[in-house]
Amino acid sequence: MMMNIPFVDLKSQYQAIKPEIDQAIANVIEDTAFIRGKYVKKFEEEFRSLYGVKHCIGVANGTDAIYIILKMLGIGAGDEVITVANSWISTSETISQTGAKPVFVDVDDYFTIDSQQIESKITTKTKAIIPVHLYGQMADMPTIKAICDKHKLFLIEDTAQAHFSEIQGKRAATIGHAATFSFYPGKNLGAYGDAGAIVTNDDALAEKCRMYANHGALIKHQHFMEGINSRLDGLQASILSAKLPYILEWTRARQQVAAWYDKALKDIEEIVLPKVRPNSKHTFHLYVILAPQRAALQDYLKQQGISTSVHYPVPLPFMPAYQYLEYTRADFPKVAHNEARILSLPIYPELGKDKIQYIAKHIKIFFDARK
């Protein structure tokens, strides 16, 4: 029997908690608390407290969160910021927006920045490192933190895909000077539109970011500097508060889905399964395998009703936007090797075991037919 398996399923989640979400939306409209106001404050406090950080500043999206931190750390023209070659473009475009130059590093076996190659990229202009905890797995933070301490660099964690991931008992977003979250609808904790947050334990940096995100003002009409308009809105905050009590349960469900995949796929020798870094907790925003003949496999799975995706089809240094940096594929051999092979299989907390077995069965049929 043919199954229909979407890549993500935001509708089942809504149906499971519909009364709470509908109430959360109605409350904001009833109180006309659309911009700033009590629902934003409430979510910031709840997220900060559940996460275990000193400050949470709601912003318009995860991209702005990165830009605001870089700006408030004083990064700009003439500076360099080191980041990873495979990420969503937000990580590097925000570096450029400040006037600084992005410097890319290849990935390790866990799809995150190769910590062993970072030091060779540090120059007198380097000001910060932005590791990305891609797919739900943290970068090698103990090593990266030591490098930042040694060279006196700022460390900013892009945690858009790794809410509540851990390494050596430490949560993602709690190791660097500041960290960013995205609550884009498909992220592990998702709003119903664009939303993001900055977290930090640094009081002065928190205050600056809060000001800059709101036209340079903490109090209306008292502008201490020029800023931007990047605020988390009341509706999104209220929806996020309604979802927050479920996030740890949803995270466990994602890990269960990944464990089912691992078991169901382990004997298919053509593919490579995602590796989990020792002493770490992967929260599986995405379940990414390496597969030969990816395009044909995707087509075959599509015919079986299974939607898949690629994160990301073109690594950042190879995009037209970064042609001016004159990188070649030889500069990033791992990323270049993965480019045609990475394949994201469907994953969401509600994905059942029967569906995973169906997906695994069809991946096996595809490769058996080509032996």
Ligand X SMILES: *Cc1c(COP(=O)(O)O)cnc(C)c1O
**Which residues are near ligand X by CB under 6 A?**
61-63, 87-88, 90-91, 132, 158, 160-161, 182, 184, 194, 196
Per-residue exposure over 340-366, b if at least 16 CB sit within 10 Å of its own CB, e if not: ebbbbbbbbbbbeeebbebbbebbbeb
| DSSP tally for the chain: helices H, then strands E | 12, 12
- Closest approach, Cβ 159 to ligand X, in A, equals 8
Written in H, E and C, the secondary structure of 281-293 is: ECCCCCEEEECCC
- The DSSP code for 172 is T
Nearer to ligand X by Cβ, of 5 and 95: the residue is 95
β-bridge mates for residue 171, sequence order? 166
Contact 174, 194 (CB under 8 A): no
**Cα 349 to chain center, whole Å?**
17
* Residue of 176, 138, 181 lying closest to 160 (CA atoms): 181
**Structure tokens belonging to residue 356:** 């995973």
Instruction: State in angstroms the smallest separation of the CB of 357 from ligand X.
Output: 29
Closest residue by Cα to residue 114 from 132, 127, 96, 89: 132
> By C-beta, is 160 or 235 nearer to ligand X?
160
Angle at 49 between CA 228 and CA 87, to 5 degrees: 55
Neighbours of 106 (CB within 10 A): 21
Tokens 């970072």 correspond to 118
Q: How far is the CB of 64 from ligand X (least distance, A)?
A: 7
| Residues counted in the chain | 371
Is 61 or 174 the residue whose CB approaches ligand X more closely?
61
Question: Looking at beta carbons only, is 87 or 98 nearer to ligand X?
Answer: 87
By beta carbon distance, the residue nearest ligand X is 62
Beta carbon of residue 203, minimum distance to ligand X (angstroms, whole number):
25
**Smallest distance, ligand X to C-beta of residue 258, A:** 18
Helix H or strand E encompassing 82: strand 80-84
- Nearer residue to ligand X within complex by CB, 165 or 265: 165
Start-to-end C-alpha separation, the chain:
25
Which is nearer to ligand X, 13 or 355 (by Cβ)?
13
Smallest separation, CB 197 to ligand X (Å)? 10
Nearer to ligand X, 139 or 265 (CB): 139
Between 158 and 339, name the residue whose CB sits nearer to ligand X. Answer: 158
Quote the least distance from Cβ 267 to ligand X, whole Å.
31
> What's the min distance (Å) between Cβ of 112 and ligand X?
11
d(Cα 214, Cα 268) in Å, to the nearest integer? 52
CB of 195 to ligand X, least distance (A): 7
Nearer to ligand X, 62 or 346 (CB): 62
CB 194 to ligand X: min, Å: 6
The single residue listed with the structure tokens 């079986």 is 304
Of 44 and 194, which CB lies nearer to ligand X in the complex structure?
A: 194
CA–CA separation, 167 and 192 (whole Å) = 29
By C-alpha distance, which of 166, 175, 188, 173 is closest to 278? 166
Instruction: Say if CB 319 and CB 293 are below 8 A apart.
Output: no
